[in-house]
């Protein structure tokens, strides 16, 4: 089976990189993706979904070096289910309500915008891909 998710959004905070015991780099960052629409009553509505992104190897180092909070990105990858629920990772908020995190393992991170050292922004089209995902060929057509 094969799944793919594509997300366009902005980083909610600076990426955090660490190294595994074998020296492999892994970087995590959060992306907010918003949907806007006008309701039947004419009112504007907005819904924001947060994704926690996991990036590996050289791509992890590149993401950590160039992206910062607010950077716009396009992420392609696969959803990583919670081992306990088989779905999103559930957690309790301070007010007692349940929250959910959608975790994504990135295959590709495309930089749609970034900030230079002087704080000005520029549009870019840089793309950094990890190792290609191994595809299973069990599709009947």
Say yes or no to pLDDT of 123 above 60: no
Residue 37 CA to residue 115 CA, distance in Å, equals: 29
Report CA-CA distances (Å) from 58 to 4, 28, 45, 130: 21, 13, 39, 7
Question: Which residue has tokens 């990858």?
Answer: 77
Mean of per-residue pLDDT scores for the chain: 84
Q: What is the CATH number of domain 5-35+44-129?
A: 2.40.50.140
Q: How far apart are CA 66 and CA 51, in angstroms?
A: 19
Domain borders along the chain are 5-35+44-129
Confidence (pTM)? 0.74
What mean pLDDT do residues 115-139 have?
47
- In sequence order, the β-bridge partners of residue 48 are 34
């Amino acid at each position: 089976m094969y799944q793919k998710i594509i997300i366009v959004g902005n980083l909610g905070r600076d990426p955090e990189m660490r190294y595994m015991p074998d020296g492999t780099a892994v970087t995590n960052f959060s992306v907010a993706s918003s949907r806007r629409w006008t309701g039947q009553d004419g009112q504007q509505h907005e819904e924001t979904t947060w994704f926690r992104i996991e990036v590996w190897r050289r791509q992890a180092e590149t993401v950590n070096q160039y992206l910062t909070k607010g950077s716009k990105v396009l992420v392609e990858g696969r959803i990583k289910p919670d081992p306990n629920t088989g779905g999103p990772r559930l957690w309790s908020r301070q007010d007692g309500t349940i929250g959910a995190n959608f975790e994504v393992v990135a295959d590709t991170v495309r930089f749609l915008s970034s900030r230079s050292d002087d704080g000005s922004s520029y549009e870019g089209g840089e793309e950094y891909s990890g190792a290609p995902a191994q595809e299973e060929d069990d599709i009947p057509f």
